[in-house]
Amino acid sequence: DLGRNDVGRMASIATVQVEKPLHIERYSHVMHLVSDVRGKIKPEKNSFDLLRACFPAGTVSGAPKIRAMELIGRLEPDRRAIYAGAVGYFDFTGNMDTCIAIRTMVVFPKEVHLQVGAGIVFDSDPSKEYQECLNKAKGGLAALGMTLEKRTRK
């Protein structure tokens, strides 16, 4: 619903479609419930307008978006940097293809940053959300030949 709302703000009336709603995509350490959202951009808009309107994506900021971003800024101890941003391209004909940068590693000479998160909703179970974050981190750590040590939260 959040993705549909983001796309709908820039799409021509009655062109927003949810393709393949609620299908499961399986990855090495997690599964995602996905719905593909498409729309035809308004004639007076371009791909730069579209990207500007859709980021940060509601699917990683939460809703209502502005208030959720205020809370993120206040409560999260580290800036998101590339995490939950966009990776992609614009071509010379106006086409654009982007994705949300999740579970993306940023490599520095002596350290690696790997941020992960979980979608917190009203009835979330904190221990399950924490486990989801650990599961998401395992893929990136495996690429580095590392594992998570068993930890207990205090």
Whether residue 154 lies inside any domain: the answer is no
Question: What pLDDT is recorded for position 152?
Answer: 47
Cα(140)–Cα(131) distance, integer angstroms: 15
Give the residue numbers spanning the domain of 20: 2-143
Whether residue 129 lies inside any domain: the answer is yes
**CA-based nearest residue to 60, from 91, 17, 104:** 104
pLDDT in tens, 86-113: 999 999 998 999 999 998 899 999 999 9
Point out the catalytic residue in the list 59, 62, 80, 117.
59
Rounded average pLDDT over 28-48: 92
The total domain count for the chain is 1
Active site residue 32: yes
Point out the catalytic residue in the list 23, 32, 52, 67.
32
Kindly give the residue spans of alpha helices, DSSP state H, lying in 25-125. Answer: 47-54, 58-61, 65-75
Whether residue 48 lies inside any domain: the answer is yes
Whether residue 89 lies inside any domain: the answer is yes
Whether residue 32 lies inside any domain: the answer is yes
Point out the catalytic residue in the list 103, 113, 117, 139.
103
Point out the catalytic residue in the list 3, 39, 58, 83.
83
Whether residue 150 lies inside any domain: the answer is no
Active site residue 59: yes
Query: What is the CATH classification number for the domain harbouring 44?
Result: 3.60.120.10
Q: What angle do CA 142, 113, 116 make, to 5 degrees?
A: 70
CA–centroid distance for 63 within its chain: 13
Rounded average pLDDT over 59-67: 88
Provide the mean pLDDT of the chain. Answer: 90
Whether residue 151 lies inside any domain: the answer is no
Active site residue 119: yes
Phi, psi of 150 (to 5 degrees): -65, 125
Question: Does the pLDDT at position 150 exceed 60?
Answer: no
Band of residue 71 on the pLDDT scale cut at 50, 70, 90: very high
Whether residue 152 lies inside any domain: the answer is no
